[in-house]
Structure 1
Amino acid sequence: MRPAEGACREQLSRIQQSTDFRATEREHRFLDYVVDESLSGRGERIKAYSVAVEVFGRNSTFDPQNDPIVRIAASHIRRSLEHYYLTGGRADPVVLSIPKGSYIPVFSVRAPTEDTASAMAVDVYKPMRPSTSEQAGSNIPAGAVPSSQDVLAQLQRIVSSPEFRRVGRTGVFLSYLVEEALAGRGHRIKGYSIAIEVFKRPESFTQDDPVVRIEAGTLRRELERYYLVAGRNDPVRIGLPKGGYVPTFAWNEPAEPIIAEAVPRPRPLDQIAAPWWRMRWPIPTALAVVAGLVGSAYWINVRPMIDSVRMTGIPVRPTLVVAPFANLGDGPSAELYARGLAEELLTALPRFKEIKVFGRETSASLSPGVGVSQIRNELGARYLLDGSVRTSGSRIRVTVRLLDTSDGSILWSEDYENDLQTRDLFAIQMAVANKVAATVAQPYGVMAQVDSAKPPPDDRGAYECTLSFYAYRAELSVERHADVGVCLEKAVTQYPSYATAWAMLSIVYLDEERFKFNSRSEMPPPMQRALQAARRAIQLDPDNTRGLQALMTALFFNQQFAESMRIGELALATNPNDTELMAEFGTRLAMGGQWQRGAALLDQALPLNPGAAGYYHGTRALAAFMLGDYPAAVAGIRQADLQKFPLFHVVAAIIYAEAGMPEDARREGETFMQMRPDFVPNIAAELKIRNIQPGDQLRLITGIRKAGMPVPDGVEAAITDSTVVSDGH
């Protein structure tokens, strides 16, 4: 039963005013909207479309399949609410939540005797549970463990609690592990047995399938969350240590009372912005540090990077600090926008895993207009992003710039102007943040270009491989493929936890087969190596955009089309500003028959991705051809101009042939046959491995014949016959 409307609105106000509710301005607006609609009896109107149009200022053409803004914002709100109820809102009388799969808020009354009930539960179990003094050496030895009955009671308590979120098969997974361990079969708890008995994988299951590792990570997080919330005072703690699947059982220490603001919230080491001279060190130590710094100024920048490599196993990446934006206006809009824009940037930029972005606490500790020397000396960051906001009447102007902290030079600057009367403030700030993130941080963006032309003074190690990879993608030549493959294999040997390098290596392996670049006879074959490397990247970093892109592409060419598209959608929702991913997903959609949507994604990516434009202009030209727009197809293929990439020439030949340009078609066809003499004789298999639909295969083969290339007789009939047989089943 939902609480009274007044109590619900009071709870919303309590949440919105709390500093423990970590949400952006647009997310506050989102929450206001869905709560008001629900309490006003219009809950059935709360859909992605209405939220996008009425909250985020999207126009009537909004498509939630192409624009994930609502899903992403809802996910952020859920995490912010969860944090709030773990901290400042832990004793609130009303609980507000937004269940996954919906945007309709749910209000529930928290029983006023909850804490008392928890205490009673502790008292009930006290005879079974050794006290702290008993563990120290009283009548129960230290290290005593709960009995099987205690553990099974705790298992039931966990799986029946609404605070233990049953994501996927976590409840079944946990029950299996506990029951196997209590039955004395802990030695049987292996990845293989779990996959077969819990996740119903076939007996051919191998470790290439990461389902068990991923689900174990989810289960660990859910157990940790449960013991922070409902299970704080439970008598028994069930754990799942990293590196194995055998659960542990121990008596749970009672939760310490939490006193609000008793101690400052700890901050990550890489986000501490206090200058070294403000730290309270003993005088001898301080003098020694000063002498060391005077004698080794170089290490101010380099040592934190080396320490980072040691701790994370990931090589140095370009580091970026976002400074607060200066408010140059005279009204409240500019101040609100300045804060909101910085928040949006700190959400969008970290999604690019090729760079490292200092967090919100570091950003908030700085002042607008902070000097590059402070960023360089105190934080060791290579880049500084800052700017200003100016309002004049209904006009708002944002200036953003990227600076190199090594010399203070401005690497990039842009002005964005909007009219507050025609566009929503929150839609404006999100649009600007997305444009800035895509321009600055994407793989072919400003930071990557600067690093290629002007490397930093320290040894970048494996980071050079990522730059080489993108240079290879822009050219797609067999020579660059060989070099980058060797570099990436060395990188993952030196840095086995470097997820981005594994993802890139997956794509390089795949190109051995799909492009016939530097094919090797070693086992396993390229397609399998590509899939293994992509899964390795996701195991290391499930949110790594390049890893998701690699997995999507490897699955696509391993004929797992539906799963490939699911991963593509997930990747696009994870980072909708990554144009490399956007264009690759558009390419896969187009090849699979969704030419219109694929073309739309390519049209979004191309203006922001000039570095890789050749490959994607080629795909966009092919999409225009398949959609019957031959002039656009000709214009697009001329923009591609990938002379060293064999498949460019066959696409050009097909387009020119249909556009009535026989000499151009013949020339491109001859070039292609010289570069890939094996392709046309095996045309059916080559098109099938790319998941091209039978009807599209026939159109392409007609174009290849028209361009003068020798297609084997009977190919069209074989494709038609296989389609009929398939439809018959």
Structure 2
Amino acid sequence: MRPPEVVCREQISRIQQSVDFHATQREHRFLEYVVEESLSGRGERIKAYSVAVEVFGRDTTFDPQNDPIVRIAARHLRRSLERYYLTAGQADPVVVGIPKGSYVPTFSMRIPRDGIGSVVAVEENPTQPFSLEQTEASNVRASDPPSSDDVRGQLQRIVSSPEFPKVGRAGAFLNYIVEETLAGRGHRIKGYSIAIEVFKRPDSFTQDDPVVRIEAGTLRRALERYYLVAGRKDPVRIDIPKGGYVPTFARNEAAPPEPVKSKAAPPPEAFGRQAAALWRVRWPVLGALTVVAGLVGSAYWLPERHMPDMPLLDRPTLVVAPFTNLGDGPNAELYAQGLTEELLTALPRFKEIKVVGRETSASLPPGVSMSRIKDELGARYLLNGSMRTSGSRIRVTARLLDTLDGSIVWSEDYENDLQTRDLFAIQMAVANKVAATIAQPYGIMAQVASAKPPPDDRRAYDCTLNFYAYRAELSVERHADVRACLERVVARYPSYATAWAMLSILYLDEERFKFNSRTDAPQPMQRALQAARRAIQLDPDNIRALQALMTALFFNQQFAEAMRIGEQALATNPNDTELMGELGTRLAMGGQWQRGAALLDKALALNPGAAGYYHGTRALAAFMLGDYPAAVAGIGRADLQKCSLFHIVAAIIYAEAGMSKDARRAGETFMKMRPDFVPNIAAELSIRNIQPRDQLRLIMTMRKAGIPVPDGVEAAIADQNAAPR
């Protein structure tokens, strides 16, 4: 049976007064209503219709099939309760839940276990009386290790769940390490064996390939999420402790205990006295554990799970207000909510910004004032908009506002026809376009921040802005300043993954552009690879870190692995135009000119203000594909006068287009800036993974432009590439 009514009400009061219960006023009313109805014996009345009418003020024509307000609010309330019990409520005596598929609350009593101060839940069972003996019996069972059959059953339960990812090799990874452990071969579970047997790497696999570490991090997060959602009451927990790949198996204390015969239950008032006595005795121990658990829980729920020394405040903060429904159709409200949800999925993928969470966004009215966003939430930007449906037409208007002065810094309209495109495809496409336009490194928010930085900006964020400014011009002078700035940042914030990734690219530029090379340090390629791997270790899903690792591996002649990581990163965030342009550049240089050009076109279409570096590569791709007018137009848009390689590409393009004077002028400028390049041209082209046939074509055109390429280079290229690459 459920705990006494007075204990349940005390728990509800405890939850609603806690600062760790991040629920909206609407969700507070929702919780109060379902609890009161349930405790008053009217649980059968708790349906979507009654909640909508009595809590949300819907009229009697409410149809839950057309209006999802109750489902959405229930989902948010479940998350708020889950987070509360992971933080402040870790040691509360009663657990209140809203099971999926229902709005009737459940109440579970937690009794401290002797000696260890942890808790075990006793689920509500209306057909059986509650007793302390039952709890003690369940405690004994919970201490028994699960059998092999129990673990295999749990493994099947996890991998078949819709809450467990079906993409990638997470299922195969988990199955392998579980079966090896159950077979007594846990000592064999190493990065090498997993790489060979799960990810089908060759026998030459080394730890330089981070695939196992990356996938293990992904698998750990998938298991954490599974046990927070679908697996909360599963009988067995499977975990992968950090620092190794050998799984652990344990009884899940959150699982409902098996029925146990017991003596008649004491009256409710006796139960209350017994529980109170138990809590008085064990509260000091639990109090200390709660502090520790609260800190751990709080760390888990921090955005992106950053280490404490990472400068979270340095990134601009964005709030997404619910989009206003201006439509006249029955599903218009659902459309608006769906678009808001898609935006809250697409925007947080950009690590350069901080997006306020779903719960906060859902609590805001569509017409929320900018002063509230700035003063209460401390956010610099507000994204809002509206959705209007009329017949089969749907029109979305999106606006980005600067809360410092109330100005609209960007707005756009998107129109679609519901008869020709699926609604969900429209929502996703619009959300991706908005995210790419405003959030990516050269987007609207970065431009505004550069033009008028907020007064409380700190040096760490300035460094990231300066990095993108450097990438836009590629000058040797700015390279030195940004490199020094980022080196100071990682010294102060060693867990700042994005800064390590940017530093990796700057180290690489010492070699490929000959910018500010240092003789008193390890080789630039070595430092670039080390910094990229450091970034991946800190944050395996960080797009800038994956971009840096891809680029470092590319210049270390690991083309196939570099492209694999680049494709993985692009799948993680398909709207990041900085990554998209870099991947397109690397593919093109490696001989895949058509695919590279297509990615560059997409990146430049999504973000016309992207780095001139990508315009230059796109111009070179047009040259290699025989589209010389497009090549001439593209090199004119690149405008990278301070970058030596810009001038050699320009010379090649102008020469082939018959612009002899321009070609010779560009060639002479290049020779002044990089006199060391031509004498080592075979090595310079090879390190960029340019294919032999493409190298020969480029050399022929360089000579046509008047660049003094030495005789015999073609033979050297043929010899260098005689062996398989």
**Contact 1:513–1:526 (Cα < 8 Å) also in 2:** yes
The answer to whether residue 493 in structure 2 is matched with residue 495 in structure 1 is yes
Alignment partner, residue 669 of structure 2? 671
**Contact 1:151–1:236 (Cα < 8 Å) also in 2:** no
Alignment partner, residue 612 of structure 1? 610
In 1, Cα distance between equivalents of 2:251 and 2:635: 68
* Structure 1 vs Structure 2 CA RMSD: 4.1
Q: 1:205 to 1:232 in 2, by over 3 A?
A: same
Correspondent of 2:376 among 374, 378, 383? 378
Q: CA deviation at 1:530?
A: 1.7
SS of the residue corresponding to residue 462 of structure 1 reads helix
**Contact 1:439–1:608 (Cα < 8 Å) also in 2:** yes
**Contact 1:650–1:668 (Cα < 8 Å) also in 2:** yes
Deviations 1:608-644 (A, max 9, x none): 3343342111111111111111122111112212110
Alignment partner, residue 173 of structure 2? 169
Describe how 1:253-332 pairs up with structure 2 within 5 A. Answer: 253=253, 255-256=255-256, 311=308, 313-316=310-313, 317-332=315-330
In 1, Cα distance between equivalents of 2:395 and 2:196: 59
Q: CA deviation at 1:323?
A: 0.9
Q: 1:625 to 1:675 in 2, by over 3 A?
A: same
Deviations 1:406-443 (A, max 9, x none): 23222222233445555554444333322221221111
Higher deviation after alignment, 210-219 or 444-453: 210-219
One-letter amino acid of the counterpart of residue 133, structure 1:
E
SS of the residue corresponding to residue 456 of structure 1 reads coil
Q: CA deviation at 1:334?
A: 4.6
Higher deviation after alignment, 203-212 or 652-661: 203-212
Q: 1:512 to 1:319 in 2, by over 3 A?
A: same
**Contact 1:618–1:636 (Cα < 8 Å) also in 2:** yes
**Contact 1:334–1:396 (Cα < 8 Å) also in 2:** no
TM-score w.r.t. the length of structure 1 is 0.68
In the alignment of these two chains, the number of paired residues is 559
Alignment partner, residue 111 of structure 2? none
Alignment partner, residue 213 of structure 1? 213
Alignment partner, residue 510 of structure 1? 508
In 1, Cα distance between equivalents of 2:393 and 2:586: 41
**Contact 1:20–1:87 (Cα < 8 Å) also in 2:** no
Q: 1:421 to 1:217 in 2, by over 3 A?
A: closer
Q: CA deviation at 1:526?
A: 1.8
SS of the residue corresponding to residue 169 of structure 1 reads helix
SS of the residue corresponding to residue 403 of structure 1 reads strand
Unaligned runs of 5+ in 1: 1-13, 24-85, 91-129, 259-304
Describe how 1:532-681 pairs up with structure 2 within 5 A. Answer: 532-681=530-679
One-letter amino acid of the counterpart of residue 635, structure 1:
A
Q: CA deviation at 1:518?
A: 1.3
Alignment partner, residue 429 of structure 2? 431
Describe how 1:235-246 pairs up with structure 2 within 5 A. Answer: 237=237, 239-244=239-244
Q: 1:656 to 1:393 in 2, by over 3 A?
A: same
Describe how 1:8-27 pairs up with structure 2 within 5 A. Answer: none
**Contact 1:174–1:219 (Cα < 8 Å) also in 2:** no
Alignment partner, residue 408 of structure 2? 410
SS of the residue corresponding to residue 611 of structure 1 reads coil
In 2, Cα distance between equivalents of 1:307 and 1:597: 32
Q: 1:175 to 1:226 in 2, by over 3 A?
A: farther
SS of the residue corresponding to residue 399 of structure 2 reads strand
In 2, Cα distance between equivalents of 1:503 and 1:249: 36
Q: CA deviation at 1:460?
A: 2.3
In 1, Cα distance between equivalents of 2:353 and 2:715: 51
In 2, Cα distance between equivalents of 1:218 and 1:20: 32
The answer to whether residue 460 in structure 2 is matched with residue 462 in structure 1 is yes
Q: CA deviation at 1:564?
A: 1.6
Identity of matched residues, %: 74
One-letter amino acid of the counterpart of residue 691, structure 2:
Q
Deviations 1:202-260 (A, max 9, x none): 999775443443344345346556767998777765543334556556554361489xx
Deviations 1:477-511 (A, max 9, x none): 11111111111122222222222212211111111
In 2, Cα distance between equivalents of 1:423 and 1:216: 38
**Contact 2:67–2:334 (Cα < 8 Å) also in 1:** no
In 1, Cα distance between equivalents of 2:580 and 2:599: 6
In 1, Cα distance between equivalents of 2:316 and 2:326: 30
Describe how 1:143-222 pairs up with structure 2 within 5 A. Answer: 146=145, 154-158=150-154, 163=159, 167-176=171-180, 208-221=208-221
Q: 1:257 to 1:375 in 2, by over 3 A?
A: farther
SS of the residue corresponding to residue 599 of structure 2 reads helix
Q: CA deviation at 1:700?
A: 0.3
In 1, Cα distance between equivalents of 2:71 and 2:430: 24
Q: 1:171 to 1:385 in 2, by over 3 A?
A: same
Alignment partner, residue 40 of structure 1? none
In 2, Cα distance between equivalents of 1:227 and 1:635: 55
Q: 1:592 to 1:452 in 2, by over 3 A?
A: same
Unaligned runs of 5+ in 2: 1-63, 74-97, 103-132, 165-169, 259-301
Q: 1:191 to 1:694 in 2, by over 3 A?
A: closer
Q: 1:212 to 1:341 in 2, by over 3 A?
A: closer
Q: CA deviation at 1:696?
A: 0.8
Q: 1:214 to 1:180 in 2, by over 3 A?
A: farther
In 2, Cα distance between equivalents of 1:420 and 1:189: 52
In 2, Cα distance between equivalents of 1:467 and 1:354: 9
**Contact 2:309–2:493 (Cα < 8 Å) also in 1:** no
**Contact 1:492–1:501 (Cα < 8 Å) also in 2:** yes
Alignment partner, residue 133 of structure 1? 136
One-letter amino acid of the counterpart of residue 172, structure 1:
Y
**Contact 1:315–1:498 (Cα < 8 Å) also in 2:** no
Q: 1:601 to 1:252 in 2, by over 3 A?
A: closer
The answer to whether residue 85 in structure 2 is matched with residue 88 in structure 1 is no
In 1, Cα distance between equivalents of 2:144 and 2:527: 45
The answer to whether residue 683 in structure 2 is matched with residue 685 in structure 1 is yes
**Contact 2:67–2:333 (Cα < 8 Å) also in 1:** no
Alignment partner, residue 24 of structure 2? none
**Contact 1:354–1:443 (Cα < 8 Å) also in 2:** yes
In 2, Cα distance between equivalents of 1:430 and 1:226: 25
In 2, Cα distance between equivalents of 1:325 and 1:251: 44
In 1, Cα distance between equivalents of 2:222 and 2:428: 31
Describe how 1:690-701 pairs up with structure 2 within 5 A. Answer: 690-701=688-699
Alignment partner, residue 447 of structure 2? 449
Q: CA deviation at 1:386?
A: 0.9
In 2, Cα distance between equivalents of 1:721 and 1:495: 47
In 1, Cα distance between equivalents of 2:561 and 2:70: 38
Q: 1:357 to 1:595 in 2, by over 3 A?
A: same
Q: 1:221 to 1:363 in 2, by over 3 A?
A: closer
In 2, Cα distance between equivalents of 1:586 and 1:630: 19
**Contact 2:450–2:465 (Cα < 8 Å) also in 1:** yes
Q: CA deviation at 1:723?
A: 4.5
Q: 1:578 to 1:20 in 2, by over 3 A?
A: farther
One-letter amino acid of the counterpart of residue 367, structure 1:
P
One-letter amino acid of the counterpart of residue 241, structure 2:
P
Q: CA deviation at 1:318?
A: 0.8
Q: CA deviation at 1:697?
A: 0.7
Higher deviation after alignment, 350-359 or 496-505: 496-505
In 2, Cα distance between equivalents of 1:308 and 1:721: 50
